[in-house]
Structure 1
Amino acid sequence: MDNREKTKLTDTEWKIMMLLWEKNPLTCRQMEDDLKEETGWSRHTIISFLKRMQKKNYIRMEEANPARLYYPLLNKDETVLQETRSFVEKIFHGKMGLLVSSLVDSEDITKDEINSMLQSLKKALIEKEDQNE
């Protein structure tokens, strides 16, 4: 499913999608149990969110016994990448390097996070070099 142009998840939708990406299918009761401590949402509230997300084609519902099952329709990697690009465009005028510089300048960044970024950047550099050959 290609929703690149129209997918714009709300904070609420992100919580539900992250849960469904992590483990699916899930019933409404399972989602309520997983999200209750963090959100305090009732089953009725979750059902309302799920109905809206179905209309947007973010998730699908399957009738099952004893309870309906919910599945993600959006691809996690594509959705995260789209949201990241949108964020970088909005905050850093599309300049990915400014995002990385901002993260590196953060006092909260750990050595492991820096190493992870370095590995990703090295991999990207190698891939770009291979494309140019």
Structure 2
Amino acid sequence: MISNARPITDAESQVMAVLWQHAPRSSEEIVAALGETTDWHEKTIRTLLNRLLGKAAVSAERDGRRYLYRPLLTREQWQSSESRNLLDRVFGGRVAPLLAHFSTHEKLSKRDIAELRALIDAIDAKER
């Protein structure tokens, strides 16, 4: 898993999303996929790929005259790290203040509330 000292940036996470969707991919395929949602130049995307290689978030395997990239960091690992960082940074590492914030500042749907209740019930049952 990626080190906390070198987190994935927002831009890098967009490159990762392309690879999580389908891998392996060549840099040309990644550039084409990101060209649909960003106005980044090819050099920018290649720089992001090199940064991700340096962070051991992706691997590159030679395939003839090109490299094929695949994620080493899973989406679940990234989500866990990002969630933990947000909780620690903004809410003192606690989930309850996060939920309190959203219940006060965001409209929670009935479905959201039902899912939260079910989750709390499952956690409660597990701890008994």
> TM-score per shorter chain, which class?
0.7 to 0.9
After TM superposition, give the deviation of residue 118 of structure 1 in Å.
Answer: 2.5
Equivalent positions of 1:1-133 (< 5 A) are 2-65=1-64, 67-129=66-128
| Alignment partners' CA distance in 2, 1:47 and 1:100 | 38
After superposing on structure 2, the runs of 4+ consecutive aligned residues of structure 1 that deviate more than 4 Å are: none
1:67-121 Cα distance to aligned partner (Å, 9 max, x none): 4211111132122112111111111111210111122223443222222222222
Return 53-62 or 119-128, whichever deviates more: 119-128
Secondary structure, aligned partner of 1:100: helix
Aligned residues: 128
Return 45-54 or 110-119, whichever deviates more: 110-119
**Higher strand proportion:** 2
| Alignment partners' CA distance in 2, 1:115 and 1:81 | 23
Secondary structure, aligned partner of 1:63: strand
User: So what's the TM-score if we normalise by structure 1?
Assistant: 0.82
Identity of aligned residues (%): 23
| Alignment partners' CA distance in 2, 1:70 and 1:59 | 6
Secondary structure, aligned partner of 1:18: helix
The 8 Å contact of residues 7 and 79 in structure 1, kept in 2 or not, is answered as no
RMSD of equivalent CA atoms: 2.0
| Alignment partners' CA distance in 1, 2:20 and 2:124 | 29
